[in-house]
Amino acid sequence: MKRIYKSIFFIGISVFGICLIAYGGTSLIKGFTQHNDWPTTAIVQKETDIDPKLVEKFTKISVMVNPSGVKFKVTGKINITNPVDSTQNLHNLGYIYQKQGDQYYYQSGQTETINADGLLVYVDHAQKKIMLGKNKGEMAPLVFPDLSNLIKQFKEEKYQLWDRRTDKQYWTISLINPTHITCKLYELTYDSLTLKPNKIVMRLSNFDDPLNNKKDKKVSFEIMTDTQVNASLFHVGRFVEKKQPQSYVPAEKYKDYELIVLPELR
């Protein structure tokens, strides 16, 4: 049960691709040969050719999808293509994520997650199940290293940074390493005037066969950020009611749902 609980929590967090190539995380497997079928139109830069101004720009754009403010909201659609496991594929799945202080709400497809009022509530409407646990507190904001360290990390991870115009209004800034063991592509499409991003795309390596590009998982998020949140979505009473200090039942509207209370609340 704890494993399921953790999965739910981290799925909610990862919706924005906030991982940003796992700073300080995975190291490269050295000596691999780049596959010829890597589909990118980018002009490959020299390994040492990383423009500090471009790194600074990349950081400014990335910060805009970091929910570190008092109020934050992002909505959009998720697309996932996994050639190894088609059950993971998603097509234009709508999502909502919003936070206010240490409260947050996440909805994707037929699932909803609320972290508020000392509780974490996960609802699966398709399965008619509610899972109840303890509040996990405010999401930790993404902390960016200073630019000098960031440039160093990009070099160590063999990433190339490339910026290109995609139409009259939008540009796309990309981190590319076709042989990276974890993430081969991370890119942000943004408004050229405001730098506000509207799309995140990631190309993730297959864990069992990381150099086989045909097995890469492709993930994209359409994003629209805002500072106006719907406070009613934080109300856990929509789904569960407290009868006694350690006793909960489904709310009247969901009385036919199975309620699973984690041991930490008993």
Q: Which pLDDT does position 68 carry in this prediction?
A: 66
Q: Taking all residues of the chain, what is their mean pLDDT, rounded to a whole number?
A: 78
Helical (H) or strand (E) element with 164: strand 160-165
Q: Which pLDDT does position 101 carry in this prediction?
A: 86
Give the residue extent of every domain in the chain. 2-101+138-234
CATH code matching the domain that covers 2-101+138-234, chosen among 1.10.540, 3.40.91, 2.60.40, 2.50.20? 2.50.20
pLDDT tens track for 196-213: 999 999 999 999 999 999
- For residues 133 and 181, give the distance between their C-alpha atoms in angstroms, rounded to a whole number: 35
- For residues 88 and 73, give the distance between their C-alpha atoms in angstroms, rounded to a whole number: 25
pTM over cut 0.75: no
pLDDT-based confidence at residue 143 (cuts at 50, 70, 90): very low
pLDDT-based confidence at residue 148 (cuts at 50, 70, 90): low
> What whole-number percentage of the chain has pLDDT above 90?
44
β-strand partners of 259: 130
pLDDT tens track for 79-94: 999 999 999 999 999 9
Q: Which pLDDT does position 69 carry in this prediction?
A: 66
Q: Is the pLDDT confidence value at 238 over 90? A: yes
Parallel/antiparallel/unpaired status of strands 240-244 and 247-250: antiparallel
User: Comparing C-alpha atoms, which of 49, 46, 43, 20 is closest to residue 151?
Assistant: 49
User: Comparing C-alpha atoms, which of 218, 219, 221 is closest to residue 198?
Assistant: 221
Q: Is the pLDDT confidence value at 40 over 50? A: no
